Every structure is written in C-alpha cells, then in structure tokens.
Structure 1
Amino acid sequence: MSTLVTGIGLLVTNDPDQWGHESPLPDADTRSADRLGQIRDAAVVLDGDRISWIGRATAAPAADDAVDLGGAAVIPGFVDSHTHPVFAGERSDEFDARLTGQRYDGGGIRRTMAATRAGSDDHLGAMVDGLLAEMTRQGTTCVEGKTGYGLDLATETRSARVLAGRVDEVTFLGAHVVPPEYAARPDDYVDLVRGPMLEAVREDVSWIDVFCEQGAFDTDQTLAILAAGRDAGLGLRLHAAQLHPTSVIAPAVEMGVAAIDHCTFLSDADVEAIAGSSTVATLLPAAEFSTLQPYPDASRLLAAGATVALATDCNPGTAFTSSMPFCLAIAVREMGMTPAQALWSATAGGAAALRRDDVGVVRVGARADLLALAAPSWLHLFYRPGVPLVSHVWHRGVHHDLSVPSLTF
C-alpha cells in the first residue's frame, strides 16, 4: 500500500546532490546546511517500507492513501548508533551521588551486571521494548543496541538473542569491563570474550565493541578482541578516550573500525587519524551531561574533516535518556556544533557510523523512516528545547500519529 505524505513545508533529505540547498532562514549557516538537501513545499510517497517518490507537492503522483501535514517540517528518522538497552535494574542514586561530588569511574557497570544476570529473558526483553517505544515517540527509527551487562557466557548470549529482531544492529560488547570473578586474571577473560563468548553470540550480532579505558581494557587487549571479531566476520566498533587520553585511536583506525565513540580526550594525531579515514567519531553528549565530564569538541573534529555522529549512549548508569532531541540541544550549546551539523550528525552521521545508506536519508529506495515536527522548521528542535515536537513518525513505513498540535505562527 502506498501513502502520499503531503503538506510538507520544509523537507530535509540529506541528499544535497539531488536537491541542492534551500536555506530555512536568511541568516542560517548555509555552508553546513548545504548538506541537508532541503526542499520547500514537498511531498513524499511511501510504498510499503520504502520511499518511492520525492519532490514538489505540485508534482506528486497519486497514492492509495494520503496524509496532509499542514506545512510541518519533515526530517529523516534519527539514527541512534550507540545504545545499551538490554539490562535490569536502575542506578538513579549514582546520578544523585555524582551531582553531590562523587567522580564517575565506570564501576557501576558491575552493579548493572549483577541485576542483568538475575533478570529473565522476558524482563530483559520488556526493558528493550520499553526503551524502543520511547525512542520511536522521539523520532528515532534506527537503533544499534549492545550487549555488555552480562559479562558471562550465558548472559551475554541471552542478551544478544533478546536484542536480535528488536533493534536494527546488534553489537557484542562482552568487553565492557572485566567482571569480578576475573579481576585477578583479566587476560583469561579476554580469552573468554574472543573465544567461546564470541562464538556463542556470533549468529545474533553484526558488530563487536570494546571499552578501551583505564579500569576496563588496555590497548593491547582491545586490539586483540577487535581482531578476533574481525576474523569472525563482524564489523568493528570502539569505546575510547572517554575518561583519559589513549594510544588506541591510530591502530584502531588502521584496523578499520567503523566508529570510535566518546572521543572526549583526543590528541591532534588522533583527530588527524580519524579525519583521514572512513572511521566516524560518535559523540555522546548525554554521557557528559550525566557524569559531569568535559564535553567533546565537535567543532575540532569537523574542522579537520572528520565525519561526526551523535547518539544517546542510552544506558542505566551514565546516560539514561532515549531522547535524540535532548542530545541535539546539548551538542549545539556545549560542543561547538551548528544546528545543521547536529541534525546531519544525528541522522546521516549515525547511518555512516553503522555503514548504512538506507537510513538517515530521504531518498528513493531508502527505508521509509521519517518524522514530522509540530513546527515549520527543523530549527525548532533547538529553538524550543525540551518541547515534545515530534508529531508523526513513519518507521519502516508504519505511521505513528502522536497527535502533537502545532502552534500557529
């Protein structure tokens, strides 16, 4: 069944080669906005779970059904390329402790590990489903989800199976931290991750990830785990430079990691290595908001020519938010991004971090993932922070009408 989505006042396609540029405001940042490929007075036809036509509303073809958005702005669905949605328990007391002076050191992961090991598959699945429903209501239509709160063979395997079929991309993060039972023999745990644990999850995951940080895994351990994942046919991802500088960036880029996430403490050589490669720097502003760490400098990466993505890092300890609009607002206020750069990074940038070209873009043949705002411009995501502006979501062509009224301007 086909649906004509019309009454689009301003459409962001992220396809500038096809659509060029129409500045949303006379004084907008036209240089970075050029990447958004905007069309005024547009329409889109969705056919099943794919986009089949895009153009001016006056030239729109007939379809089986029609939705008139009355002049709303429409953008690609957000692509959240870094989340940890399969877990049990909550850690709000840690957030309170940090706000009263306790420093974040990554130790709370083991607390979630204990609750997750005790959780049933049904309980873990309900948590993932609940978070995905929150994400959909806030315009996220493509989600990467990691294991990493089991840290034993049985629970990592269960976590991967819970995620498979629920999220778009499943990542194996057995190398989140070393669990307590291996504290005195971390290399044995590395062997477990890159051997039996990797083999057990292999059929349910597409990516492997490692937390390379003091108190987690060092550079040599990280590269050994990534190499095992690569040899097993998995794509490579990496948590790095969140709390301290690291020596892992250049060798990880050379190994071909798709994304390095956090990227707070980067040297000039690290920035140069990322900018000269296809590796995406994924920035996670909600983590710094929660941990009170310094925010990464997105403008430094962008000026060097790096591809930047924004993601939520949704997890129970350090970034318990499912809201990409919240992360966009922080990015422009604290990380040196323009609104256009932030919007691109939360859509097309996330797709690049997942090495996908069918999401994060409004293009014929792409997945039918769109969101409409109760506003005439996507700039209202930044202009009106904290306001629930997502009024309609199309996820794989399925329409969710959130009944958010638009103000009259």
Structure 2
Amino acid sequence: MRRTRTRGPARRGGGARKRSLVIENIGLLVTQDPELGERRDVAVVVEDGVVAAIVDGASGVAADERLDAGGRCVVPGFVDSHTHLVFAGDRGEEFAARMAGAPYAAGGIGVTTAATRAASTEELVALAQARKVEAWRCGITHLEIKSGYGLDVEGERRLCEAASALTDDVTFLGAHLVPKEWEQDPDGYVDLVCGEMLAACAPFAKWIDVFCEEGAFDADQSRRVLEAGREAGLGLRVHGNQLGYGEGVRLACELGAASVDHCTYLTDADVEALAGSDTVATLLPATDFSTRQPYPDARRLLDAGAHVAVATNTNPGSSYTQSMAFCLALAVRDMHMTVDEALAAATTGGAKALQRTDLGHLGIGARGDAVVLDAPSPTHLVYRPGMDLVAATISGGEVVHSRYQGEGL
C-alpha cells in the first residue's frame, strides 16, 4: 500500500481548486450506503473532505494525493458515540480489585474527579489529544466527548472547552455523580447543574447527559437535568440501565433523547419503548467486559426493531480502551450480533446516535472518513481478535494514521 502526492495541484473547471484524495485499488468497499452497498475493485474520490465519487479504477482521475489500498478492504470510519476522553489519573488498582472479585459501583468516578481537578488545563488537553491519536489508530474518525470529571462549575467548563477543540459533538455531563461536597444535599447539586454549571458549559456543548442510576441520579433528578438542558438548546443523551433495572431507558424515550447508553438491564417495556422511538440504544460491551456484568442482548433489541449503536465508552474506570475492533468482537460473540450488524452499529448506528447524516457511511456527499483494513473483509475484525488490522485511517480526506509510512504510504 503506497501513498503519493501530485507535485502540480489538480484543477477542475475554472473555479477554486479542490483539495483531493483518491483511495484506489480497493479490493472490497463496504459503503454502508443502502443504494451503493458493497463494491469490488473500485476507488473512492474525496474532494474538500467529502466523498465526491466512487469509480471503477482511478487511472483517469487527477488528485493531489493518492492512496493505494493494495487490494485491501475499506470501510467507513468508526463513529464512537460515547467517550469520556478528557480526564487525568489512573484506576488500574480498581480494575485489578474488580478482577479479584470486588463489585463495580458508580462511586469510582470520584477518584477520577479528584485527579482531573488537580491537573492543569494544558495537561488535560495534551492527554485528550494523545487519546484522539490513539482513536485514529483504531480506525475511529469521529468522537463524541463528555465532560463529567470536574463536577463543579469551573471544572466542567474547562472540560467542555477542552473537548470542543477535538470534536463538534461535546456532551455536558455535570450530572455524572454527586460530588462529595454535595453528598448531604444532592438536590442542591442538581440545582447547580441546571443553573450556573449549565450556563457555563452550554456555549461549548451540543448535548447534555445524565447518569440515571442508583448511586447517581434518580428519575426525577434526571428529568430536571434533561429538561434544563433542552431549554438551553442542547440535545439529550442518557446513561441508563447499566447497573440494574431502572427508569433511564423509558425516560430517554419519553423525552426524545438521541440515545440511551449501556442498556444492560432491559424489561420488555424498555425494549418496546426503544422499538417505538427514534432513541438509539448505544451498547458498550467493553464496559461489561471490564465490570464483569452481563452483556446487553443486542439480538433482542434488533429483532424488536430498535436502533442500536456500539461505542467504546473510553474512560479510566470501566472501559479503558479505544479498540472498536475489540468492541465488535464482543458484540458478535456475546451480544448475538452478526458481523454486518456490529459493523453497522459502529458506523451508521453511531452516526444516528449523534443525529448525523454526514458520518458512518461512504455515500456521495458524506465526510471522507474511511478505514483501510489489513484484511479482505470486515469479518476479520472479529475473526482475528486482538490483531491490529487498521492499516490506514482517513479523516475528512486526510490520512491521519498509517502503518505503512516507512514504505511510502
């Protein structure tokens, strides 16, 4: 697989020049576009960061840059619709204790909050940027990033501001946990979240989220947070039904949230609510792996007609990974999804969870986000678990990661 640049910039027509990339010699292209489907022996033309054409061969297409896929499979870039990327500190000891039998509880968030509060803004930005580079190496081309480890006005504001430098899908999660200083007055903390904290964070955020769970926020408190966020112009997201049966899923569906995430414990009424709504059930299997909880039954959701996404939930406590391939392997093996369903959940599903039509597919007009796999098909992401099969990652028409730079890619 080789990468070349044209010395003389390509020009088309008489207008302004468009920066272009051709990904050619693709053995199998999985577009995730229902009209285009799968194509063999084709090339993808990206102009100004957007997919402009899919052609048979590419010898007649001029471009500023060419990427020879060498007969490999190309899929859309993964859309990671649930991450907590901005944080400091380490919770390896907690993980080891959990593997030795200690239970998982929401309170561990406080450990990361203390470390994050102690870190400088510059340190937090540098750590988050490094994690974004790791995401590229895993084929993730778009990230949703939540706050939630400041839990005071200034702490949440700077986390949202730091996240806004890395993505346009920032989620304000001041209602992640009641911090220790507010333990005797949780409703007072909800007042703070809905008032001064929301006002400070909304300029940097697109979404608001709440952890509706025992040990975090009950349904009434969660409703207050979500309704305040909606009044401030933010879209709604919910952490729900992770640690046990609860009201998070049905609250999310009732309020028209874009997604409800975790969905580990679902009643028939929860599944019915999801199937009858546009709210996406975002499943986070790496979390269930790390916490030794049951895996969500994706088959049950899909068969009922619910919308499903798969995301990494990158965070230091319960899912310290950015490997979407690992999540897909778990989704197929332990959540009863097919390979095609899992891939769709990590691409078009993630895009739907963020209410984006420009991501998660390689149809004409989509953002030029693609992953070149060192494999003949996406099946190998699950068939060869633990292997680094991301040969190159293209984000917005730019090659942001390649394992073959030493060979000219």
Of residues 248-257 and 166-175 in structure 1, the stretch that sits farther from structure 2 once superposed is 248-257
- What is the distance in 2 between the residues matched to 1:108 and 1:340? 35
- What is the distance in 2 between the residues matched to 1:219 and 1:191? 15
Partner of 2:11: none
* 1:165 has 2:183 as partner: no
Give 2:30's match in structure 1, choosing from 12, 20, 30.
Answer: 12
1:58 shift after superposition: 6.6
- What is the distance in 1 between the residues matched to 2:247 and 2:136? 37
Partner of 1:56: 56
Q: Would you say how many aligned residue pairs link Structure 1 and Structure 2?
A: 387
1:43 shift after superposition: 1.0
Question: Mapping of 1:9-408 within 5 angstroms?
Answer: 9-16=27-34, 18-19=35-36, 37-57=37-57, 61-403=61-403
Measured on the aligned residues, the alpha-carbon RMSD in Å equals 1.3
SS in 1 for 2:97: helix
State whether residues 170 and 204 of structure 2, in contact with CA within 8 Å, keep that contact through their aligned partners in structure 1.
yes
- What is the distance in 2 between the residues matched to 1:217 and 1:338? 35
SS in 1 for 2:358: coil
CA deviations over 1:292-333 (Å, ceiling 9, x no partner): 011110000000001100000000000000111110111111
State whether residues 368 and 395 of structure 1, in contact with CA within 8 Å, keep that contact through their aligned partners in structure 2.
yes
- What is the distance in 2 between the residues matched to 1:403 and 1:288? 30
SS in 1 for 2:170: strand
- What is the distance in 1 between the residues matched to 2:197 and 2:174? 8
Give me the TM-score of the superposition, normalised by structure 1: 0.93
State whether residues 14 and 362 of structure 1, in contact with CA within 8 Å, keep that contact through their aligned partners in structure 2.
yes
Partner of 2:21: 3
1:57 shift after superposition: 2.4
Of residues 162-171 and 260-269 in structure 1, the stretch that sits farther from structure 2 once superposed is 162-171
- What is the distance in 1 between the residues matched to 2:269 and 2:404? 46
SS in 2 for 1:107: helix
**Amino acid of the residue matched to residue 296 of structure 1?**
P
Give me the TM-score of the superposition, normalised by structure 2: 0.93
SS in 1 for 2:277: coil
1:186 shift after superposition: 0.3
Q: State the identity %.
A: 53
In structure 1, runs of 5+ residues without a counterpart are 20-36
- What is the distance in 1 between the residues matched to 2:404 and 2:320? 24
State whether residues 223 and 252 of structure 1, in contact with CA within 8 Å, keep that contact through their aligned partners in structure 2.
no
Of residues 47-56 and 90-99 in structure 1, the stretch that sits farther from structure 2 once superposed is 47-56
State whether residues 177 and 217 of structure 1, in contact with CA within 8 Å, keep that contact through their aligned partners in structure 2.
yes
**Amino acid of the residue matched to residue 367 of structure 1?**
R
- What is the distance in 2 between the residues matched to 1:402 and 1:363? 23
CA deviations over 1:341-388 (Å, ceiling 9, x no partner): 000000110000000010101011111100101111111111111111
